[in-house]
Chains A and B, each alone.
Chain A
Amino acid sequence: MSAAHQVEHVTCLGCGCGCDDINVTVMDDRIVDAIPACPVGRAWFGDGSVPWEVLQGGKRATLEHALTEAASILTKPRGSLLVYLGPDLTSQAQRAAVALTDFLGAAVDSATSDAAAEGLLAAQRRGRATATLGEIRNRGDVLLFWGVDPNRRYPRYLSRYALEPAGTQIPNGRAGRFVIAVNIGADKGPAEADLTITLEPSEEIAALSLMRAAVLDHPARDQSPNLVSAIGLIGRLTSARYAVLVHDAEPTELPRNPLRVEGLIALAQALNGPTRAALSSLRGGGNRPGAESVLTWQTGYPFAVDHSRGYPRYMPGDRGLDRLVRGAFTAALVVGSPALAGEAAAALGGIETVAIGPGASRAPFTTRVAIDTGTAGIHEGGTAYRMDEVPLSLRPPLTGQRSTVQTLEALMDAVRTKRPGRSA
Chain B
Amino acid sequence: MKQGAEILIDTLIEEGVDVIFGYQGGAVLPIFDLLYRTKELKVVLVRHEQAAAHAADGYARETGKVGVCLATSGPGATNLVTGIATAYMDSIPIVALTGQVPSTMIGNDAFQEADIVGITRPITKQNYLVKSVEDLGKIVKEAFYLARSGRPGPVLIDIPKDVSTGKCKSLRLGAVSIRSYNPTHKGHPLQIKKAAEAIAKAKRPVIYAGGGVILSNAADKLKELAEKTQIPVTNTLMGLGGFPGTHPLSLGMLGMHGTKYANFAISEADLLIAIGARFDDRITGKMDEFAKGATIIHIDIDPSEISKNIKCHIPIVGDVGQILEELNKIAEPPEISEWLSKIFAWKKGYPLTYKDDDQLRPQYVIEKIYELTNGEAIITTEVGQNQMWAAQYYKFDKPRRFLSSGGLGTMGYGFPAAIGAQVANPKATVFDIAGDGSIQMNIQELATCVQEKLPVKIAILNNQYLGMVRQWQELFYDKRYSHTDISVAPDFVKLAEAYGILGIRVEKKEEVTKAIKEAIAYKGPALLDFRIVREENVFPMVPAGAALTQMMDGIA
Tell whether A pairs with B. Answer: no
> What is the interface of chain A, defined by CB distance below 8 A to chain B?
none
Interface of B toward A, CB cutoff 8 Å: none
